[in-house]
Amino acid sequence: MQVRRLEITGAFEFTPKAFPDHRGLFVAPFQEPAFVEATGHPLHVAQTNHSVSARGVVRGVHFADVPPGQGKYVYCPKGALLDVVIDVRVGSPTFGAWTAVRLDSTEYRAVYLAEGLGHAFAALTDDTVMTYLCSTPYNPGAEHGIDPLDPDLALPWSELGGEPILSEKDRNAPGLAKAAEQGLLPDYGTCLAHYETLRTAS
């Protein structure tokens, strides 16, 4: 398993070794020893999510209140997508910045984003599947969104070659600046303290 620390604190890319043969293919997208070495703590999985998206669908930007937040380990078992991690933590040196990783069923890369980071992705093929390992259960009262078309973020949806397909909830979400004004965004110092709690508890 190859691990790459992404430009935003708390985000990592994992690339497993795939084993194809005449029967098909075997791969382990999540491997705990590599995850613990990278993050300093194990991943507590409280919920797994599965989404199927048509080409051009954009889901996100989503994040949750910290604590407890929701860490996500995501990979694409079918199709291809552009996965985007956005730093929405107020006070972070990379606040408002984003990084993107292509996830697909050829390389089987995975991305981990720690609690407090924003997440979005764009499906690049029809019937693209995303699998999520989530550290906490879904809690609608603690879940928030940011407009994925916010021009201040300038997320990389041009690769879609057309207008992104959004849910009404995502389309009507506030931009980053408005979300900050409304006090919706996580605090960077609080997030760092939470990450340390995860490491010391392991």
Instruction: Give the CA count within 13 Å in the CB-facing half-sphere of 137.
Output: 2
Instruction: Give the CA count within 13 Å in the CB-facing half-sphere of 59.
Output: 16
Best CA proximity match to 122, nearest among 161, 71, 89: 161
Of the listed 22, 41, 73, 132, which one is catalytic? 132
Of the listed 22, 41, 62, 73, which one is catalytic? 62
Active site residue 188: no
Burial of 109 (0-12, 13-18, 19+ CB in 10 A): buried
Active site residue 41: no
Other CB atoms within 10 Å distance of the CB of residue 188: 21
Give the Cα separation of 64 and 55 in Å (integer).
Answer: 26
**Under a CB-based contact definition with an 8 Å cutoff, are residues 110 and 14 in contact?**
yes
* Residues whose CB is less than 8 angstroms from the CB of residue 159 and which lie 6 or more positions away in sequence, other chains included: 82, 122, 124
Give catalytic residue positions.
Answer: 62, 132
